[in-house]
Amino acid sequence: MDSAKASAPGNLFLTGEHAVVYGKPAIIAAVNKRAYCTSFKSKGNTISVISREFGIAKAKIKENNIVNHEGKNELFVFFDLVEMLMHKHDIRDGLEIRIESDVPVESGLSSSTATLSAALYSLNLLFDLRIKKENFFDYLYPLQVKIHGGKASGSEIFSSSIGGYNKIQKIDCEGKTKINSKELGKHSFSIVIGNTKVRAPTALTVGMHVPSLMRRFPNMVEKEFEKIESICEKIEKALEAEDIYRIGKLINKNQKILSKLGLSHPKIDDCINEALHAGALGAKLSGGGWGGVMFALAKRGEEEKIAKAIESTGAEAIITTIGGEGVKACD
Ligand code: MEV
């Protein structure tokens, strides 16, 4: 095989972002927006990464390492991925990696995790590495930590690789970070995502803002994370009962806590207020915060009205469902 293509979904947090980095549970669902990656073997010792969204980066293979990185540094993480595979699986070939993502970048919908998962799957196919999706976490977690500014839960890796709705908890297993997960079944809720288009690099909130709050106000942050934990348990039950009214109320509560922790953004608040005014059952930000996306839970038939309300703020609205398939091969 000389080339292989794969795709992986972005994600939405129904609840638990940030708290999940500190060992609390979260509920995350794959979104029906995907990133695509095609990997080609090439002659010579060059690794090229070509991204529709970011541009181009190139590097050289030297013995067992990748050196002389040039081009867009947002793409250097793919060299880290290839280098890791070179070390673990003795790969030596030159490569061209082509990426395109329908998941908006730096929006809180896990575009970087979706592209990395798609890249790992396409390289897995190309070199017949037989890495199971369940083990993607071990490969991608160190890269996620780097992208998120030194800390990460890894929940997005789990969701992008496995798909569906999952309850996730990060655990420490003999000094190694692992994920405890519970599959939460299939649900076909109507979701309207509002993309504020305010770019929100997760490293700023995960790597800087929340740690600074924890240093200055440890008791307050712990209390708010405990409240999020309790919301998570309640959303799990409401999901079992398919009680969208209760889920709506609970995600509103979660949003208030994220706001109190300084993680919202005026444009996110604007979208949330308009969505709730237009009849959304609940609305919250998703992901790192400080911009990016929010989502609203809509009654069936009310999606268009809520989308228009979100668009009235200048944001882009996406009507969708969540809980789709994880990483997979493409034809
Ligand atoms: C970022 O999209 C989600 C966070 O919870 C970070 C993480 O889980 O690694 C803020």
Q: DSSP secondary structure string, 200-217?
A: --HIIIIIIIHHHHHHH-
* pLDDT of amino acid 83: 95
3-state secondary structure of 85: helix
Compute the distance between CA of residue 235 and CA of residue 246 in angstroms, rounded to an integer.
8
Q: What percent of the chain has pLDDT over 70?
A: 100
Q: Hey, which of 156, 199, 284 would you mutate to test ligand 1's pocket, going by the most ligand atoms within 8 Å of its Cβ?
A: 156
Q: Which residues lie across from 320 on neighbouring strands?
A: 191
* pLDDT of amino acid 232: 98
pTM for the predicted model, two decimal places: 0.95
Digit-coded pLDDT (tens) for 290-312: 999 999 999 999 999 999 999 99
Which residue carries 């996620």 as its tokens? Answer: 144
Phi first, then psi, for residue 149 (nearest 5°) are: 80, 30
Digit-coded pLDDT (tens) for 170-216: 998 888 999 999 999 999 899 999 999 999 889 999 999 999 999 99
CB of residue 153 inside a 6 A radius of ligand 1: yes
Q: Which residues contact 266 (CB under 8 A, 6 or more apart)?
A: none
Tell which residue, 183, 168, 174, has the closest CA to residue 21.
168
Digit-coded pLDDT (tens) for 112-126: 999 999 999 999 999
Q: Which residues contact 95 (CB under 8 A, 6 or more apart)?
A: 39, 40, 41, 42, 47, 48, 82, 123
* Domains assigned to the chain: 3-185 (3.30.230.10), 190-321 (3.30.70.890)
CB of residue 21 inside a 6 A radius of ligand 1: yes
3-state secondary structure of 64: coil
Buried b / exposed e along 101-117 (16+ C-beta atoms within 10 A): bbbbbbbbbbbbbbbbb
CB of residue 39 inside a 6 A radius of ligand 1: no
Residue nearest to atom 9 of ligand 1 (CA): 152
